[in-house]
Structure 1
Amino acid sequence: MTPLVVLLNLSLCFAGFGALALSLDRHHRDALGGRVPAGRIVPQRLGGWALILLSLAAAVALEGWNFGPVQWIGALTGAALLVVALLSYRPSWLRPAALAALPLGGLLAPVVWMS
């Protein structure tokens, strides 16, 4: 287990949970001040689930089936705690943080696969 793999999984899971949270009216209203536009609900949910599944695929590809799912569950837990903390204390920070996690994961992916 390398710290870069953990950070990759954490960033993908965080971005996925952020998208899923912002697809709900209550969290969207707290974070952005208004209802979710109808045309944005399904793409956000699909994107959120796709990022979470991508993090599972990355964990299994990089760590194998022995340790990958264990690491993925840890990343899911950590990312969910971060999203809940942001929604509780600084909901307006969720969208920028989730959007920042996407390029971080994109930058880490080639570095992790090359090492």
Structure 2
Amino acid sequence: MTVPALALSLLLAFSGFSALALSLERHHRAVFRSPVPRSRRGGLRAVGSAGLALSFAAAVACAGWSFGPVQWVGSLTGSALAVVGLIAYRPTWLRTAALAALPLAALTLPLALPG
């Protein structure tokens, strides 16, 4: 396990959990001060699920099948705690943090993938 590989998995999971949280009425209202449109709800759920799937794929690609799923579960735990903390204390920061996580994940991708 390398630090860039863990960061990549963590950032992708954070973006996925953020999108899934924003697909819920209560959290969307806390962040955007408006109800979630019905047309956006499905898209946020799809993006959130894709983010979690990409996080799993990144963990397995970087650490292999022997340790990748374990690293992924750790990334899920850390990113879920970060999303919950932001929603509870600074909900308006969630939008910025989730959008910043994607370019950071793209920057860590070349560093994380083996050889």
**In 2, distance between residues paired with 1:44 and 1:109?**
23
Unaligned 5+ runs, structure 1: none
Cα distance, 1:114 vs structure 2: 5.7
Partner of 1:35, secondary structure, is coil
The equivalent residue for 1:98 is 98
TM-score of the aligned structures, taking structure 1 as reference length: 0.96
CA distance in 2, matches of 1:94, 1:7: 18
What is the identity percentage for the equivalent residue pairs of Structure 1 and Structure 2?
56
Check the 8 A contact 2:23/2:36 in 1, yes or no. yes
Normalised by the size of structure 2, how large is the TM-score?
0.96
Equivalent residues, number = 115
State the shift of 1:113 in Å.
Answer: 2.0
Gaps of 5+ in 2: none
| Partner Cα distance (1:110, 1:51) in 2 | 18
Instruction: Confirm whether residue 71 of structure 1 aligns to residue 61 of structure 2.
Output: no
- Residue 37 of structure 1 and its aligned partner are, at CA, apart by 1.2
Cα displacement string for residues 21-58 of structure 1 (whole angstroms, at most 9, x for unaligned residues): 01111000011101001111111100000010011011
Matched with 1:49 is 49
- The 8 Å contact of residues 5 and 113 in structure 2, kept in 1 or not, is answered as no
Q: Distance in 2 between matches of 1:57 and 1:88?
A: 29
- Supply the RMSD in Å over aligned alpha carbons: 1.0
The aligned amino acid for 2:63 is: E
Q: What pairs with 1:26-65 in structure 2 (closer than 5 Å)?
A: 26-65=26-65
The match for 2:85 is 85
